[in-house]
Structure 1
């Protein structure tokens, strides 16, 4: 149900993603020019309201000094509300590799908790195609990956890759590297092969080295040269995911006039595109 709600009665979840200032600044410009195109989504929380999806839009409206905001009021339990928040996060292009890993792993845990039946009925039809000891786990992961891929526009394989990083790299290490130069998929893949203690030791060592390099550069010194092995070329699936994310990001940043022009363009018959 769409309603106009007082902004001062709406609050973000305690586990909401840290506000990205660049995203909020872009939304301030867009909302200030064309208004709020997509209502935020909220649920009742005591005598207040809790954001289920759209806390960046809420932050932008607060900075614009708006008193009320358009919201889609839904009924959702804690798990469904958290799942909706995670899905919105995973659709964003600017998520860092560590954040994407954490949110994907958490989505997997929620999905399996909400749908335990996906792991309960494997032994029959699927047993012949899977190792018996891992049948339930494999089936539940595959179902989770397919569902997440459909919700976020990624491939099953990419979803499983992000989930594995989030499950195997411990929270302490994620918090250490988040937002640093070590926050890359390549580095997470190296860490996930280590024991928890070795992960912490490696992250602290590599962070200290990176900071020393920056200190030397800031002081006009010559930092010790580090030979970096180039990342592997993108697979077709990874390239598609990156292109899709770029399109979603561009659409989210566009104003309504630009979106309407784009709709008119893609609705133009192929043979007439040259005249568009």
Structure 2
């Protein structure tokens, strides 16, 4: 390499040539000193893939260090690597290679989400709470608008766009996932196990929690519901009080392929005149069906 007179030659280190400048060094940390990240949204499941990871660790050790942050008194909090930590425990390891990094709560949240969100086969509930945690952390980091940070102070739409761009999704899709966090846990589980369609679940998330629990019971007994049914239910909720019996009637009458019935349906208020006050809608329905069955048998 030719140089000009007086020119200093800058010698690059091996680390610079390999692109690992200032790379943090991993060190072995006892597993009992590491606690899980608070409200970690990603599930650690003892499935076939976990068993494969356990066997790999038994043979090769933990090849990729986990990321932790110090919590004081020689203890640490896991940021990234919950599955590796769990597998290491199952494999009988007492320590695990870890990178220790000083992180604030919001920095730790963002790092935890970014490290896990690209995993394959994430459940909708995992992405929902991960995106929400990251959005809340980013908004807290932005702080109140001032002349200095006004450009960084972003709202929900802008933050969702940033999160989506980082993960190959539209900001609108990120917002849809975050809406799932407004579902009652039972319905969210239905989304995870594909008993409830994603877009229908997003529509349900705008409905009152008590009605959501009624919907859970309805789906459990009747199966899949469609977007049209939820649209009609949401419209009815805006026009007056909703009861479980009224909800069931709306959903039944709007089932795809069902021929609309005549309007001679007896209202729940009218039915209440014939039943004790402590009878639920299900109790009344049971009695009515039993009486109808007796009437039918009497005609035969």
With the length of structure 2 as denominator, give the TM-score of the two structures: 0.56
* Maintained 8 Å contact 1:97/1:184: no
Q: Residues 42 and 74 of structure 1 are in contact (CA less than 8 Å); yes or no, is this contact kept in structure 2?
A: yes
Of the structure 1 ranges 57-66 and 105-114, higher mean CA displacement relative to structure 2 is found in 105-114
Residue-by-residue CA offset, 1:144-190 (whole Å, 9 max, x unaligned) = 12332344343333223222333xx2454556546444354134223
- Are residues 197 and 103 of structure 1, via their aligned partners in 2, closer, same or farther at CA, if it must alter by over 3 Å? same
Counterpart of 1:195 (choices 208, 211, 216) is: 208
| Range moving further from structure 2, 94-103 or 48-57 | 94-103
- Alpha-carbon shift at residue 14 of structure 1 (Å): 3.8
Q: 2:45 maps to which residue?
A: 20
Q: Say which structure, 1 or 2, has more relative contact order (CA 8 Å, 6+ apart).
A: 1
Determine whether 1:56 maps to 2:71: no
- Consecutive unaligned residues of structure 1, counting only runs of 5 or more, are 126-135, 211-226, 230-276
Greater helix percent: which structure?
1
1:152 matched residue in structure 2? 167
Distance 2:165 2:27 in 1: 29
Question: Corresponding residue for 1:162?
Answer: 177
Alignment RMSD: 3.2
**Number of residue-to-residue matches in the alignment:** 197
Query: Matched residue of 2:79: which SS?
Result: strand
Query: Which protein shows a greater Rg?
Result: 2
Q: Which position in structure 1 is the counterpart of 2:156? A: 141
Partners of 2:55 and 2:91 within 8 A in 1: no
Structure 2 partner of 1:205: 218
Cα deviation 1:206-241 (Å, max 9, x = unaligned): 13445xxxxxxxxxxxxxxxx999xxxxxxxxxxxx
Whole-Å Cα distance in 2 between the matches of residues 199 and 120 of structure 1?
A: 41
Structure 2: tracts of 5 or more residues without a match: 1-23, 224-254, 258-300
Shift in Å, 1:50: 1.2
Question: How does the TM-score come out when normalised to structure 1?
Answer: 0.60
Is the CA contact (8 Å cut-off) linking 2:29 and 2:98 kept in structure 1? yes
